[in-house]
A and B are shown apart, each in its own frame.
Chain A
Amino acid sequence: MSEKKKDLGLEILKEINEGQPKDEQSRKPFLGKAGIPLLAIFTGLVIGALLIAVTSQSVYAAFSESVGKGFSAIFNEVGTAYKALFTSAIGDPVRMVKAVGGDDVREIRQAFNPFLESLVQSTPYIFAGLAVALGFRSGLFNIGVEGQLFIGAACATWVGYTVTGLPAWIHMPLAFLAGALGGALWGFVPGLLKAKTGGHEVINTIMMNWIAFRLTEWLLSGPMTREGSGGMPISPLIQKTAEIPQFFPAPIRFHLGFFIALLVAYLIWWLLFKTTWGLNLRTVGTNPRAARYAGLSTTKSIIVPGSQPQHGARAFLGLRLRQHCPGADRQHPSRRRGACFHSLRHPAQRRNADDGGLLHPN
C-alpha cells in the first residue's frame, strides 16, 4: 500500500474539490456558492444564542417565575447581546444616519468607527486565512498559523524597535519583511518535514505552536523585555517610523494594512490561478504523485507555500499588536490561542476560495 494514500492534504483537497456532488448543488440552488458560509454563520448565531440563554442568570430567574417570562428573558438576553454585537461591529445605524445628516466631521468618523474597527480587526484574519488557504492548495493542513504569527510578530517587533534612523518608507516595509521571514521560517519547518519525511503536518504545526509560545515567552521576559516592565512579558514600543500609517486621527485605528491585505489576497489568487507557479502548486496539492510524474518539484512546492503568505499576516499583526495595544502580549501566550483557530475556519467554510474569505476566484 502506498504511503501517499494516506496523504492528508490530498484527502482534504479531494473533499474540497470533489465534495460537492452535483445533485446536492441542484437541491439548494438558492443558496449557491455563498450557501455554506451563510449557513455556518447562521448556525453560529443559533448556537451562540443557546449558550447565552443557558448561561444567563436572569433567564433562570425568569423561568422560576413562569415559562413565558423565561422565554421573554431569553429573547431579551439574546437580543441585547446580538444588538451589541451588531452595533459594535457595524455601528449604530441611527447614529450613522444622524451623523451623515449633520456636518460634524468628527461625529461622522466616530459613528462609522465600529465598522472601520471591524475592518481593522478583520485584517489579520484575512492574512491568516490566506496562509491557511495557500497551505490547503498545496496539500497542507496548516494549523500552525498561530505559532507562525507569534514568531512573525516577534521578528517584526524586534526590527520595529531596534532599528532607528530609517525613514518610514523603508522601516515599515523592512519590519514587514522581517515578520514575513519569521513566519516563513516557522512554516518552513513542518513543510520541510512533510515533504522530506512525511511527518504529519497537523501535529508538527501544533508542536511548533507550543515551541513558539515558549520561545516568545522567553524572548519577552528576557532579551526583548521592556525596561521597567517589572517582569511582565512585554516588549519595548516600536519606533514611530515602523508604524503602519493611519487614515484618521487617534481614536480611529483604520489603517493602510487593510488595503495591503486586499492587495495580497488578489495577488495570491492571481498567482494560484493564472501562473505556472500556481498550476504547479495546485497540482502538487491535489495529486502529488501526478505532480512527480509530470516532473514538477514536489518538495519545493510543499515547502514554499508552507511559508508564503504568512508574510503579511505575521508582519502585519506584529506591528499592529505592538503599535496599538502593547499590552496584548502581556497575557500568557496560551490565552490568545483562539485567534488563529478562527482564521482557520474561514477558508474551510468558504470552500477554500483562495481569498482568505474575501473574494471568489471566479
Chain B
Amino acid sequence: MTTNSRVIEHKRVVEVSSTRKLVVGIVEVLIGLLIYFIFALKTASGALTRFVMTPGGIDQGFMADWILPSKITLTVLAIAALLIGIYQLIRGFGRWTNLMVGICALFLIFGFLVWQAADKQLNLAGMLSSAVLLAVPITLGAFSGILAERSGIVNISIEGMMLMASMVAAIVGSVTKNPWLGLLGGILSSILLALILGVLSIKYKVNQTISGTVINIFSAGLTAFISQKFLQHTPLLNTPKLFPRVPIPGLASIPLIGPILFNQNIFVYLMFVILIVLQLALFETRWGLRLRSVGEHPKAADTLGINVIRTRYMGVILSGLVAGIAGSFFTLGSVGRFDEGMTAGKGFIGLAAMIFGNWMPVGAIGAGMLFGFADAIGSKLSLLGSAIPPQFMAMAPYLITMIVLAGFIGKGQAPAAEGEPYEKE
C-alpha cells in the first residue's frame, strides 16, 4: 500500500481555454487600439492634463497636483495595452490572465480620463473619494448577499430591503433628529423584511427568487405610497441629519490616501469594519464554518447536528441587517432626503459585485470599488462638460453588471446548495 490520499490526476488540455485566451487577447489589443485611435489621435499634441490630487473641502492630507502631457501618456498606455494583448495572443499569461485584463481595463479608464481632461483639470482625488462613497451601498449590498447566500438563501430582495431602510431611516432620523436612531430604524425595517423572506423561503419553501421579488415589489410600492402621501407634503418627515465626516486622527493626513479612505463618514468605516469581521468570521471561526456548511450541503450539516433552519434564519437576518445599513446610507450618509426609487438598482449591482468577488468579502469590496468608480466617473464627467450624454455614463454600472453575470470575466464558485429549500424529507 502506498499513500492513500492520492489526488485524482486528470489530464488537462490547456491551462486556459484557447477561445478564452484568444478573446482576452483580442479585447486587450482592442483596448490598446481604442486608446490610441480614439483618445490619443484626438488629443492636441501640446495638451496637458491636470489631475488635482486633493479632494475639495478637505483640510488635511494635501498632495500636489499631477500634470501629465496628454498625448504622450495616452500613447504610452496604448502601447502597453497592445504589448500585453499581443503577448496574450502569442504566449498567454496563464494564471495571470485575469490580472492582466484588469490592468488593461485600468489603462482604458485612466486613458479615458486623461483624454477627457486634456487641457482641463480634473479632481482625481475627489473622484476616488466619491468612488469610495458610491461603493458603500454596493459593497454592503454584496456583503448582505454573501451572508444570505453562504447560508444557502438567494437574497434577490436586497434592493427592496435597502429601499425600505432608506425611507425608514429618513423618517426616524428626521423625527428624532438623531442619525443614529435613524440608522437603527433603517436596520430594523430591513431586518423585518429579511424575516419575511426567511419565513417564505425557509419555512414555506417558496421559490427564493419569487419571494425576493415579492419583497422588492412590496418595498417599491409601500415606499412610493408613503413618500407621496406624507413625505412630499411634510418636509419635517424627510429632512434627516446627515452623518458628518469624521477624519481619523493621524491617518487622515496621509496625502491622497488619507482624504480618500480616512476622512469619510461613518458608513465608509462601517464598510471596512464589516469587511474585516466578515472575512475572519466566515473562514476562521466555528460560526463561519457552520454557516458555510449549511450553504454547501445542508443535509451533511444536519447529520452532524447543525440546525440548518436556524442557521439559515441567522444568515438571512444578518443579511437584512447589512442591507439595512446599506439602505440607510442613501438618506443618512449621502443625500439627506428620501426619494422614490433612490436605490436605483444598487442592490442588484451589489449582487453582481458579490458574484464578481467570488462570494468572498475581500473580493466583493474590490468589485464594489470598481462599480463605485464607474459611477463616480459618470457624475464627474458631466461636470467637466463632456460630450458624452450623462445618461450613457449612468448606464455603465448596469452594463458592467450584465457583463459580470454573463461570466465573461470568469465564473466563481457559488455555494452549492444556494436557492434550494432544505427539507428534512
- A and B directly contacting (CB within 8 A): yes
Which residues of A does B touch, CB under 8 Å? 1, 5-6, 8, 11-12, 15, 51, 55, 141, 143, 193, 196-200, 202-204, 206-208, 210-211, 214-215, 217-218, 222, 334-335, 337-338, 341, 344-345, 348
* A210:B220 contact, CB within 8 angstroms: no
* A199:B389 contact, CB within 8 angstroms: no
Q: Give the contact stretch, choosing among B31-39, B68-76, B251-259, B338-346.
A: B338-346
* A207:B207 contact, CB within 8 angstroms: no
* A204:B418 contact, CB within 8 angstroms: no
> Is B394 located at the chain interface by the 8 A CB criterion?
yes
Residue of A nearest to B230 (CB): A55
Find chain B residues with CB under 8 A from A207 CB. Answer: 345, 348, 398-399, 401-402
> Is B363 located at the chain interface by the 8 A CB criterion?
no
* B405:A348 contact, CB within 8 angstroms: no
* A338:B156 contact, CB within 8 angstroms: no
> Is B366 located at the chain interface by the 8 A CB criterion?
no
**CA A35 to CA B279, docked complex, whole Å:** 48
Among B345, B405, B408, B418: residue with most chain A CB under 10 A: B405
**CA A218 to CA B399, docked complex, whole Å:** 16
Question: Distance (Å) between the CB of B168 and the closest chain A CB?
Answer: 16
Find chain A residues with CB under 8 A from B416 CB. Answer: 1
> Is B178 located at the chain interface by the 8 A CB criterion?
no
> Is B2 located at the chain interface by the 8 A CB criterion?
no
**CA A80 to CA B180, docked complex, whole Å:** 41
The A-contacting residues of B in range 185-232, CB under 8 angstroms, are 206-207, 209-210, 213, 217, 220-221, 224-225, 229-230
The A-contacting residues of B in range 368-425, CB under 8 angstroms, are 389, 391-392, 394-395, 398-399, 401-402, 405-408, 414, 416, 418-420
* B395:A202 contact, CB within 8 angstroms: no
* B352:A55 contact, CB within 8 angstroms: no
**CA A341 to CA B341, docked complex, whole Å:** 14
* B405:A204 contact, CB within 8 angstroms: yes
Find chain A residues with CB under 8 A from B394 CB. Answer: 214
**CA A51 to CA B406, docked complex, whole Å:** 41
* A203:B156 contact, CB within 8 angstroms: yes
Q: Known contacts A210-B345, A214-B395, A218-B391; decide if A200 and B224 are in contact (CB<8 Å).
A: no
* B209:A8 contact, CB within 8 angstroms: yes
Residue of A nearest to B404 (CB): A199
Among B220, B352, B389, B391: residue with most chain A CB under 10 A: B391
Contact partner, B395, options A11, A211, A344, Cβ 8 Å: A211
> Is B104 located at the chain interface by the 8 A CB criterion?
no
**CA A5 to CA B210, docked complex, whole Å:** 17
* A6:B420 contact, CB within 8 angstroms: yes
* A203:B348 contact, CB within 8 angstroms: yes
* B341:A199 contact, CB within 8 angstroms: no
Contact partner, A51, options B225, B230, B398, Cβ 8 Å: B225
Find chain A residues with CB under 8 A from B230 CB. Answer: 55
> Is B268 located at the chain interface by the 8 A CB criterion?
no
* A334:B341 contact, CB within 8 angstroms: yes
Residue of B nearest to A8 (CB): B209
Contact partner, B398, options A197, A210, A344, A348, Cβ 8 Å: A210
* A337:B341 contact, CB within 8 angstroms: yes
* B405:A199 contact, CB within 8 angstroms: yes
* B406:A199 contact, CB within 8 angstroms: yes
Closest 3 interchain pairs by CB? Answer: A218-B391, A199-B405, A197-B406
> Is B351 located at the chain interface by the 8 A CB criterion?
yes
* A6:B392 contact, CB within 8 angstroms: no
**CA A210 to CA B341, docked complex, whole Å:** 11
Question: Distance (Å) between the CB of A218 and the closest chain B CB?
Answer: 4
Q: Known contacts A198-B407, A199-B405; decide if A15 and B345 are in contact (CB<8 Å).
A: no
**CA A26 to CA B402, docked complex, whole Å:** 45
Question: Distance (Å) between the CB of B278 and the closest chain A CB?
Answer: 22
* B399:A6 contact, CB within 8 angstroms: no
Find chain A residues with CB under 8 A from B221 CB. Answer: 338, 341
11 more A-B residue pairs beyond the given contacts A12-B209, A206-B345, A208-B402, with a C-beta to C-beta distance below 8 A: A6-B418, A11-B419, A193-B402, A200-B405, A208-B398, A211-B398, A214-B391, A215-B391, A215-B395, A217-B391, A334-B341
* B213:A211 contact, CB within 8 angstroms: no
Complex A-B: 12 CB contacts under 8 Å:
A5-B420, A6-B418, A11-B207, A15-B210, A141-B209, A197-B408, A199-B406, A204-B405, A207-B345, A207-B402, A211-B398, A341-B220
* B209:A210 contact, CB within 8 angstroms: no
Find chain B residues with CB under 8 A from A338 CB. Answer: 220-221, 224
* A210:B406 contact, CB within 8 angstroms: no
Contact partner, B213, options A51, A199, A202, A215, Cβ 8 Å: A202
Find chain A residues with CB under 8 A from B392 CB. Answer: 214, 218
Residue of B nearest to A12 (CB): B207
**CA A196 to CA B406, docked complex, whole Å:** 8
